[in-house]
Structure 1
Amino acid sequence: MVTTAFCSDMPSHLVCASGAPRLEFPEVISLNVGGTYFTTRLSTLRRYEDTMLAAMFSGRHHIPRDAEGRFFIDRDGAYFRDILNFLREGELPQRDHVMAVHREALYYAIGPLLDSLEDTQPLTGEKVRQAFLDLLPYYKDNLERIVEIAKLRAMQRKARFAKLKICVYKEEMPITPYERPLFNSLRFERTASEAKLFEHHCEVDVSFGPWEAVADVYDLLHCIVSDLAERGITADQQCIGVCDKHLINHYYCKRPIYEFKITWW
């Protein structure tokens, strides 16, 4: 049974009716979800009691109506059909709807749907990808830097695109011939004094690395390009060489340098 404690979590357009007579609903409900119309059974909306829809139609809350008397939910109705289909028959959305339906399921607090979606693609793949990106706590900040630098350069040059130099490296480099036999795992450690000898910053706009995972440089490059694409930004990249900065004893950095071309229109 849904309790009145749910009132504090209700959307602002709903009014908690605690203390007022319990509202009665017809068996068949007409809905207006952001301008899109739906018809369903009251029992469908109440299928899972710990959801926002069950609370809204519990009789404890006032729900506004549109001019035609339909119950109004101030939410984009584009994916509400997928919500109803799950409540009716447990049907899951097609793959290209999964991410959007997941957002709606979060809003309506439909736990069983959230659990089912998180075991399907592309959400499963995104969880795996995010586990990798969590190894790079600066990843989102660097992504923002790429966007800001590219935007500034394009505006300064009045150009359709901008180019950046980005370093992406998995392990600390270089590994000397003496050290290489010891490098038999993903994790390699030097003493503080040894690390200081090799410490430097490549002459690039943004640098990613190092990290400890099976995922390699090309996996991270894919993440960068994909996440920029999610923001509507077209990015092409190619390796243009390695950092040739001299360190000590004839050793050089050798971290790979990539040129990113960000196209704005």
Structure 2
Amino acid sequence: MSLTSTSRSPRAPRAPPGDPPNTSAVVKLNVGGEFFTTTVSTLRKIPGSRLAAMFCTLAKASTDEDEEGRFFIDRPGTYFGPILDYLRSGQMPKQHIPEVYREAQFFEITPLVKLLEDTPQIFGEQVARKQFLLRVPSYSENLELMVRLARAEAVAARYSNVLVCAVRTEEDAAHCAESLRVLEANKRLVVKFGPWKAAPVIRDLLDSVQMDIEAQGYQVAYDYCSKKTFQPKTGAHEYFYTFRFTWW
């Protein structure tokens, strides 16, 4: 990450470009359009971080200054404030935890990253949910397939439906085999999830699918598939669900 600024007004003489900046020097920042004032020592609080590296020498931190002497960092300013508060006083952020976590990773503020990983929001997502989804075969690919199928059916329609089969165990998969053959023979496309070796149940998997599709900006809900979709004796309709995408 390079720093840029645009000052052309006369300024006090500077140390040679390769010299470390005075750690007590006041620094004005423009981070994504939001302004901050701090000191070099605060920015260099975590040795080895990317943020410290930005201000390790004046050669890196003093190019293209504007009239206010601000250095530009092309990152979201909303989430830089909590990082600055942590560097100043060790204060943990209380809002926008996932976003601040992402920025702490970018700036390589390792102590803050580790603290945030212990919060319920990050622990639950990174350690619990994502570790579960890594054990679901082809999870990401199936999400992409669902979106493609839904978009293909969206022409001149308010809704589009995607049929999903979710099986937790090999035994569940065996129960669904005949139904899948029937649907394939009738040219019905089905997105199949599982089986997987982890504690979460089918409802947990379906909730995750809904969460991750909604995170892409889609409006979607799911419910049990209608029994009419199956032949009377297949007996596996409880493993099939319809995901409905709403377009307008």
TM > 0.5 between the two? yes
Contact 1:171-1:210 within 8 A present in 2 as well: yes
Residue 126 of structure 1 deviates from its aligned partner by 0.5
Aligned to 1:105: 104
SS of the counterpart of 2:93? coil
What is the one-letter code of the residue matched to 1:109? E
Change (3 A) 1:38 1:12: closer
Aligned to 1:84: 84
Contact 1:168-1:256 within 8 A present in 2 as well: yes
Return structure 1 stretches of 4+ with deviation > 6 angstroms.
Answer: none
What is the aligned-residue RMSD (CA, Å)? 2.7
What is the one-letter code of the residue matched to 2:52? A
Residue 215 of structure 1 deviates from its aligned partner by 0.8
SS of the counterpart of 2:225? strand
Residue 13 of structure 1 deviates from its aligned partner by 5.2
TM-score, normalising length from structure 2? Answer: 0.81
Change (3 A) 1:254 1:171: farther
What is the one-letter code of the residue matched to 1:52? R
Does residue 258 in structure 1 map to residue 241 in structure 2?
Answer: yes
What is the one-letter code of the residue matched to 2:28? S
Contact 2:3-2:71 within 8 A present in 1 as well: no
Residue 129 of structure 1 deviates from its aligned partner by 0.5
Contact 2:143-2:209 within 8 A present in 1 as well: yes
Residue 172 of structure 1 deviates from its aligned partner by 2.6
Decide which structure has greater helix share. Answer: 2
Aligned to 1:62: 60
1:174-185 equivalent positions in 2, closer than 5 A? none
Contact 2:21-2:58 within 8 A present in 1 as well: no
The partner residue of 1:205 within 174, 190, 196 is 190
Query: % of aligned pairs identical?
Result: 37
Does residue 231 in structure 1 map to residue 206 in structure 2?
Answer: no
Aligned to 1:160: 158
SS of the counterpart of 1:30? strand
Residue correspondences, number: 225
SS of the counterpart of 2:165? strand
Aligned to 1:35: 33
Aligned to 2:140: 140
SS of the counterpart of 2:242? strand
Aligned to 2:21: 24
Change (3 A) 1:240 1:40: same
SS of the counterpart of 1:40? strand
Residue 28 of structure 1 deviates from its aligned partner by 1.7
Residue 116 of structure 1 deviates from its aligned partner by 0.5
User: How many Å separate the matches in 2 of 1:244 and 1:75?
Assistant: 52
Aligned to 1:182: none
User: How many Å separate the matches in 1 of 2:29 and 2:81?
Assistant: 11
SS of the counterpart of 1:72? strand
User: How many Å separate the matches in 2 of 1:245 and 1:209?
Assistant: 23
Measured against aligned partners, the alpha-carbon deviations of 1:147-178 in whole angstroms (never above 9, x if no partner) come to 111011002xx112201111112123469xxx
User: How many Å separate the matches in 2 of 1:198 and 1:125?
Assistant: 31
User: How many Å separate the matches in 1 of 2:237 and 2:152?
Assistant: 29
Gaps of 5+ in 1: 1-10, 176-194
User: How many Å separate the matches in 2 of 1:198 and 1:28?
Assistant: 67
TM-score, normalising length from structure 1? Answer: 0.76
User: How many Å separate the matches in 2 of 1:80 and 1:201?
Assistant: 53
